[in-house]
C-alpha cells in the first residue's frame, strides 16, 4: 500500500513534542496529536490547543486513567514489581498503554506513521515502539528527537523562531515524567550522583524532616490481590491511588534516590516520588506472605523479578509476559485481607495483618506451652534433612582435590 503523510504523534504539551509538530509539518507530514491522560496533571485541553496552534491537523485527548490503573498498574502490583528493588515502574507502565493507543489511532485514521518525542538514550523509545509495533506492525515509526541534530539550546531557538511558546525555559532544571503511579525526575544537578536532590525536585512528598508531626495508621483492604478500600472507605482504583498519594505524601513516604541500569546500557541517577506505589507494594507483598504457601511464595518471587525486568525493558506485549501473567493471576485468587500500616516521618511500615485465608497458625507457631506442634518429630526431620551434609562433613577432610586415588588407572 502506498504511504500517506499522516502521522500520529504522542504529544505531551512539553517542549520536545511541541517542536516535533512543527518539525514534522515542515517536512510535509500531517500531524495528528494524541494526548493520553494517565493522571499526569496539568491543563491538557490548553496543551491540545497549543498543538493546533503549532500546526497539528487534529488533537485527540484520551482519558486512560482507569485503564492505566486497572490493566497496567494492578497487574504490576500483583507481581510486586520494583525495578532493581526500588522503582515502582510508573513511567515504564504508561508506555505500553501509550504505544497501544498510538497504534489504534493510526489504524483508525489510516496513518502510515507513528511518532514519539523520546530521545535515543532512554528506555521510553523502546517501550513505545515495541508496544506500537505489537499492535500495528506495518506502521512506520518516526523519532524526530532522536534523529534531529539539535542541542537543547538549538531546540529552544527553533521554538522561538517558530513562535512556539515554551514555558520550559532554559532554566527548567529537570526532566519530569509523571502519572498516577509516580513521578520520575532526572537531569540537571541530579546527574551528579553525589549531589543530594534539591528540595525543588520534589512535589508530591514532604521532606521527612518537615512532614506531619503526628503519626497515622491506615488499614488497606485487598481483594484478589488489589486494594479496594482505605480504612472503611471503599474506593474506585483511580480514587484510591490518588487519595493514598496525598495521604502518604504528607508523611514524606515514597521518595527514591537511585542509580539504575537502563536497557540501553547506561547507568543513570534517578529520583522518584511514588507514595501510593511504595505503600501498596509493601502492603501487597506482606499480605502474600500471610496467605501464600511457602514454595509458591518463593517461586513467585523469581517470577516477580522477571516480570519487573520485562516491564522495564518494554516487553509488555510479549508471549513471555502473557505466560507470567497467567501464573501471577492464578496466585492472586486468595489474596484477600487487610494490612495495617503506620506512617511517620518518611516511613510507612506494617504493624498488623489479617486475612480469612491466612496460613498463619498461632497454635503451631506459639512458644507458649499449648502448641499442637509435635516437637519430637523435629529430630527425625533434621536427621534426614541433614543426611547429605553429614555424609559430606565426615568425608571432607579426606577428599583429595584434583586427583583420583583409584587404582583402575583410568582416571589419570
Catalogue the active-site residues: 16, 95, 124, 175
Smallest separation (angstroms) from ligand ARG to the CB of 79? 16
Smallest separation (angstroms) from ligand ARG to the CB of 321? 16
Spatial strand order in the sheet of 182-186: 175-179, 182-186, 267-273, 255-261
Q: Which residue has the cell 528540595?
A: 199
Q: Which residue has the cell 482505605?
A: 230
Beta carbons of 127 and 316 less than 8 angstroms apart: yes
Beta carbons of 96 and 131 less than 8 angstroms apart: yes
Q: Does residue 126 bind ligand ARG (CB under 6 A)? A: no
Q: What are the backbone dihedrals phi and psi of residue 252, each rounded to the nearest 5 degrees, phi first?
A: 75, 25
Q: Does residue 358 bind ligand ARG (CB under 6 A)? A: no
Binding residue for ligand ARG (CB under 6 A) from 129, 177, 273, 286?
177
Considering beta carbons, is residue 123 or 315 the nearer one to ligand ARG?
Answer: 123
Q: Which stretch binds ligand ARG (CB under 6 A): 50-58, 146-154, 169-177, 226-234?
A: 169-177
Binding residue for ligand ARG (CB under 6 A) from 17, 94, 184, 278?
184
Of the candidates 119, 107, 123, 171, the one whose C-alpha atom is nearest the C-alpha of residue 143 is 119
Q: Which residue has the cell 501498596?
A: 280
Smallest separation (angstroms) from ligand ARG to the CB of 117? 10
Of the candidates 176, 156, 178, 153, the one whose C-alpha atom is nearest the C-alpha of residue 167 is 156
Q: Which stretch binds ligand ARG (CB under 6 A): 3-11, 173-181, 353-361, 382-390?
A: 173-181
Q: Does residue 91 bind ligand ARG (CB under 6 A)? A: yes
Considering beta carbons, is residue 17 or 123 the nearer one to ligand ARG?
Answer: 123
Smallest separation (angstroms) from ligand ARG to the CB of 91? 4
Smallest separation (angstroms) from ligand ARG to the CB of 134? 19
Binding residue for ligand ARG (CB under 6 A) from 155, 186, 273, 288?
186
Q: Which stretch binds ligand ARG (CB under 6 A): 8-16, 39-47, 176-184, 384-392?
A: 176-184
Instruction: Name the 3-class secondary structure at 124.
Output: helix
Instruction: Name the 3-class secondary structure at 118.
Output: coil
Smallest separation (angstroms) from ligand ARG to the CB of 315? 14
Chain positions 252 to 281 lying near ligand ARG, rule: CB under 6 A, are 270
Q: What are the backbone dihedrals phi and psi of residue 318, each rounded to the nearest 5 degrees, phi first?
A: -150, 155
Extract the C-alpha cell encoding 90.
510508573
CA dist 245 and 179 (Å) reads: 11
CA dist 49 and 100 (Å) reads: 24
Considering beta carbons, is residue 85 or 323 the nearer one to ligand ARG?
Answer: 85
Q: Which stretch binds ligand ARG (CB under 6 A): 29-37, 103-111, 175-183, 388-396?
A: 175-183
CA dist 274 and 272 (Å) reads: 6
Write out the residues near ligand ARG by the rule CB under 6 A: 91-92, 123, 175-177, 184, 186, 270
Amino acid at each position: 500500500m502506498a504511504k500517506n503523510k499522516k502521522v500520529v504523534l504522542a504529544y505531551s504539551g512539553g517542549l520536545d513534542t511541541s517542536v516535533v509538530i512543527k518539525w514534522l509539518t515542515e517536512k510535509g507530514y500531517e500531524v495528528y496529536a494524541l494526548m493520553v491522560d494517565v493522571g499526569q496533571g496539568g491543563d491538557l485541553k490548553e496543551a491540545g490547543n497549543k498543538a493546533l496552534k503549532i500546526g497539528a491537523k487534529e488533537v485527540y485527548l484520551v482519558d486512560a486513567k482507569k485503564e492505566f490503573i486497572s490493566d497496567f498498574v494492578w497487574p504490576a502490583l500483583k507481581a510486586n514489581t520494583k525495578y532493581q528493588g526500588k522503582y515502582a515502574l510508573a513511567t515504564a507502565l504508561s508506555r505500553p498503554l501509550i504505544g497501544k493507543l498510538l497504534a489504534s489511532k493510526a489504524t483508525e485514521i489510516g496513518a502510515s506513521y507513528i511518532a514519539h518525542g523520546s530521545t535515543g538514550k532512554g528506555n521510553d523509545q523502546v517501550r513505545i515502539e515495541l508496544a506500537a509495533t505489537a499492535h500495528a506492525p506495518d506502521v512506520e515509526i518516526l523519532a524526530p528527537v532522536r534523529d534531529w541534530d539539535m542541542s537543547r539550546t538549538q531546540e529552544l531557538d527553533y521554538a522561538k523562531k517558530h513562535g512556539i511558546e515554551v514555558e520550559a525555559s532554559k532554566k527548567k532544571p529537570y526532566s519530569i515524567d509523571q502519572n498516577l503511579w509516580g513521578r520520575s525526575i532526572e537531569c540537571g544537578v541530579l546527574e551528579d550522583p553525589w549531589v543530594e536532590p534539591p528540595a525543588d525536585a520534589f512535589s508530591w512528598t514532604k521532606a521527612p524532616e518537615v512532614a506531619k508531626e503526628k503519626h497515622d495508621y491506615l488499614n488497606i483492604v485487598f481483594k484478589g490481590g488489589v486494594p479496594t478500600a482505605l480504612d472503611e472507605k471503599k474506593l474506585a482504583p483511580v480514587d484510591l491511588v490518588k487519595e493514598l498519594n496525598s495521604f502518604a505524601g504528607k508523611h514524606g513516604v515514597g521518595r527514591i534516590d537511585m542509580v539504575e541500569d537502563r536497557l540501553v546500557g547506561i547507568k543513570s541517577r534517578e529520583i522518584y516520588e511514588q507514595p501510593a506505589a511504595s505503600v501498596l507494594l509493601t502492603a501487597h507483598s506482606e499480605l502474600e506472605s500471610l496467605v501464600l504457601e511457602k514454595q509458591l511464595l518463593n517461586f513467585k518471587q523469581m517470577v516477580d523479578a522477571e516480570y519487573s525486568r520485562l516491564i522495564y525493558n518494554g516487553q509488555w506485549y510479549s508471549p513471555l509476559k502473557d505466560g507470567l501473567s497467567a501464573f501471577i493471576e492464578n496466585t492472586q485468587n486468595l489474596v484477600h485481607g487487610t494490612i495495617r500500616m503506620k506512617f511517620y516521618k518518611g516511613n510507612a511500615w506494617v504493624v498488623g495483618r489479617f486475612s480469612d485465608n491466612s496460613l498463619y497458625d498461632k497454635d503451631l507457631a506459639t512458644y507458649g506451652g499449648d502448641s499442637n506442634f509435635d516437637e519430637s518429630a523435629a529430630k527425625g526431620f533434621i536427621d534426614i534433612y541433614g543426611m547429605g551434609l553429614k555424609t559430606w562433613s565426615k568425608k571432607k577432610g579426606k577428599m583429595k582435590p584434583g586427583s583420583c586415588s583409584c587404582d583402575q588407572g583410568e582416571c589419570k
